């Protein structure tokens, strides 16, 4: 699975492979959320990594 991120109208928008886009809410300290799916994205800018947490599971993604 890949997740793409874009800025649309000043908002960060996520899109996972085969899924509709979803707006992300900034929570602070490189953390964004999408409440309807109980999803968080935690960015680590020093290492170009992102952690996706959902449903008690954590997935690590690397920037391409």
DSSP string, 11-50: EEEEEETTS--EEEEEEETTEEEEGGGTEEEEEETTTTEE
Domain ranges of the chain: 3-62
Distance CA 33, CA 45 (A): 17
Q: Identify the DSSP state of 56.
A: T
The confidence score (pLDDT) of residue 24 equals: 98
Is there a contact between 34 and 15 (Cβ–Cβ < 8 Å)? Answer: no
The confidence score (pLDDT) of residue 35 equals: 96
> Would you say residue 63 has pLDDT above 90?
no
The model's pLDDT over 7-62, given as tens digits with 9 standing for 90+, comes to 999 999 999 999 999 999 999 999 999 999 999 999 998 898 999 999 999 999 99
The confidence score (pLDDT) of residue 64 equals: 82
């Amino acid at each position: 699975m890949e997740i793409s991120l874009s800025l649309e109208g000043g908002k960060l928008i996520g899109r996972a492979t085969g899924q509709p886009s979803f707006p992300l809410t900034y929570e602070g300290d490189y953390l964004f959320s999408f409440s309807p799916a109980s999803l968080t994205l935690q960015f680590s800018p020093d290492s170009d990594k992102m952690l996706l947490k959902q449903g008690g599971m954590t997935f690590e993604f690397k920037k391409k």
